[in-house]
Amino acid sequence: MPLVRERQQEEGQPVIHPLGVDGLLIRFGARLCEAANRAALAFRAAVEAASPQGVAESSTSLTSVYLRFDPTCTDHAQLSSAIMPLLDSRDWYQADLPQGRRFWRVPAVFGTELAPQLSEAAAHAGLSPEQATKSICAAPLRVQAIGFAPGQPYLGELPPEWDIPRQTDLTPLVPEGALAVAIRQMVLFSVSTPTGWRHVGQTALRLFRPELDDPFLLRPGDEVLFIPVSREELETIRETNGSGGAVAERLC
């Protein structure tokens, strides 16, 4: 391939790939690790600040940054050269988490008919349903990426026993606000969707509200602590609180 900087992916070394006719992918790791996640968030912020010519928009996923460019202004090789000095300017894996992060407390029902796969997921992790709920709620989880659907967070990282696979079949539909688990991560669904992740909790969160000026509830870097509540409590929250009972404090 007539590229830019293609190297064998080594941990601790970013790689630039072309992505489509009008994009570049800067990958900081082929596997999820906290340093690669921080590196992606920090590098994207630096690219946004530098706004290289031709870049139309940028985003992050778990360990990579996507740059979409206007192909009438630049191309893969040119943009790759343009961002190389920035990429080489520091050790992105040592970067701090983004500024303006928030700490959220989010009420959630675990198990019951609202979240029918708690027992199954717990069994895969070698835990009882009660232990599983306690484990998930023991410490805040970080928003590692927003993606897939509008405002949808990938939260991590759970303790090692949660390295459980996705199910092979898809659950046809989980509702908005569903909390699902796989591979030491949790996902909170912003829209009703089919999924291969196991549905262990249910929140009343509305992660994407297009009618608001700021329609996206969570940002990468935010931390989320789940607070177990009863089904009745969740229904009350749903009826009385537009943001699903979520309460935020500034982290930095």
Partner 1 sequence: MAEVTIQQAGPGVTVQDLGRPGFLAQGLSRGGAADRLALLEGAALLGQDSHLAAIEIAGSFLSITVPAPVRIALTGAPMRAFCDGDPLVWHASHALPAGARLKMSGSRGGYSYLHFGGGLGVAQVLGARSAHLGAGIGRMLEAGDRLPLGRERGSTTGMTFDPFDRFDGGLLRMVETPQTQLFPQAQRERFTETVFRKDARANRMGQRLANDGDGFGLQAGLSILSEAIVPGDIQITGDGAPFVLLSECQTTGGYPRIGTVLPCDLPRLLQAPASAALRFAFVTFEEAVALERAEANRRADLGKHLQPLIRDPHDMSDLLAYQLISGVTDGDDLERKGP
Considering the complex, state which of residue 70 and residue 130 has its C-beta at the smaller distance from partner 1. 70
Check binding of 51 to partner 1 (CB under 8 A): no
Check binding of 38 to partner 1 (CB under 8 A): no
E-only strand ranges, the chain? 15-18, 23-27, 55-60, 64-69, 102-110, 141-146, 153-156, 171-174, 178-182, 185-188, 193-195, 198-203, 223-228, 247-250
User: Residue 234 CA to chain centroid, in angstroms?
Assistant: 24
Check binding of 61 to partner 1 (CB under 8 A): yes
Closest CA to 190 of 225, 227, 217, 224: 217
Among 92, 104, 110, 154, binds partner 1 (CB under 8 A): 154
Considering the complex, state which of residue 54 and residue 111 has its C-beta at the smaller distance from partner 1. 54
Check binding of 50 to partner 1 (CB under 8 A): no
* Cβ neighbour number for residue 185 with a 10 Å cutoff: 21
Check binding of 19 to partner 1 (CB under 8 A): yes
Among 172, 210, 232, 239, binds partner 1 (CB under 8 A): 210
* The pair of three-digit structure tokens given for residue 21, joined into one six-digit string: 């006719």
Check binding of 82 to partner 1 (CB under 8 A): no
Considering the complex, state which of residue 106 and residue 188 has its C-beta at the smaller distance from partner 1. 188
Among 10, 11, 53, 57, binds partner 1 (CB under 8 A): 57
Considering the complex, state which of residue 127 and residue 217 has its C-beta at the smaller distance from partner 1. 217
Query: Is-cis flag, bond preceding 57, omega within 30?
Result: no
Closest CA to 124 of 201, 178, 173, 184: 184
Identify whether the C-beta of residue 28 lies closer than 8 Å to the C-beta of residue 92: yes
Closest contact distance (angstroms) between CB of 70 and partner 1 is: 9
How many chain residues interact with partner 1 (CB under 8 A)? Answer: 49
Q: Which residue has the tokens 């994009």?
A: 23
Closest contact distance (angstroms) between CB of 1 and partner 1 is: 6
Among 216, 235, 247, 248, binds partner 1 (CB under 8 A): 216
Phi/psi zone of residue 202: left (φ > 0), alpha (ψ -120 to 50 degrees), beta? beta
Site residues for partner 1 per CB under 8 A: 1-3, 17-23, 25, 27, 29-32, 44, 56-64, 66, 68, 71-72, 75-76, 145-152, 154, 168, 190-191, 208, 210-211, 215-216
